[in-house]
Amino acid sequence: MRTNFDFTPYRRSTVGFDRLFDLLENGMRSDAADGYPPFDIVRDGEDSYRITLAVAGFRPEDIEVVAQQNQLTVTGKRAEDEDRAEYLYRGIASRAFERRFQLADFIEVGDARFENGLLSIALRRVVPEAMKPRRIAIGGGAPAPDRIGASAEKTGEAA
């Protein structure tokens, strides 16, 4: 059951959250109903994650992984079979796919590994030093004036 939610009232009363609302709206319309290829997202540590896609029937050279800004795109397209075998039943999906993942700020894509039909992509959060909390030292000394320019008035100087 799908419910449509209208974000218009929230868009009118907020500033700077356009990207968040776009992500929410696109998430509702995403290709999640298709479900191909299936994937897992695992948290390996406090700041490390791993996305694993089941891509049976594909070779590493058939898959392309692209990280651009805050989006990770995994695309797969199988090359044509050279042997042209006559299949009586074909249960391993071989259709082309494109799976997109929205990444949070400061998430960097690491290496990608292909093993036993599983593609694993390492991710980690790297917060810049300027964005990390820092402790501010409190200095001692003369008490600060109650208002700006108060010390200048006492000495007779112009503020």
At 16-74, the pLDDT tens digits run: 666 666 766 666 555 455 688 999 999 998 899 999 999 998 999 999 999 998 899 99
Domains and CATH numbers, the chain: 1-33 (no CATH), 34-131 (2.60.40.790)
For residues 110 and 121, the answer to whether their CB atoms sit within 8 Å is yes
Torsion angle defined by CA atoms of residues 42, 44, 52 and 34, in that order, rounded to the nearest 10 degrees:
20
Per-residue pLDDT band at 113 (split at 50, 70, 90):
very high
- Identify each DSSP E strand in the chain by its residue range: 39-43, 48-54, 63-68, 71-76, 97-102, 107-115, 118-125
Mean pLDDT of the chain: 80
List the helix and strand counts (H, then E) for the chain.
Answer: 3, 7
Secondary structure letter of residue 81 according to DSSP: P
Whole-number pLDDT of residue 150: 53
Rounded to whole angstroms, the Cα distance separating 91 from 97 reads: 16
Per-residue pLDDT band at 97 (split at 50, 70, 90):
very high
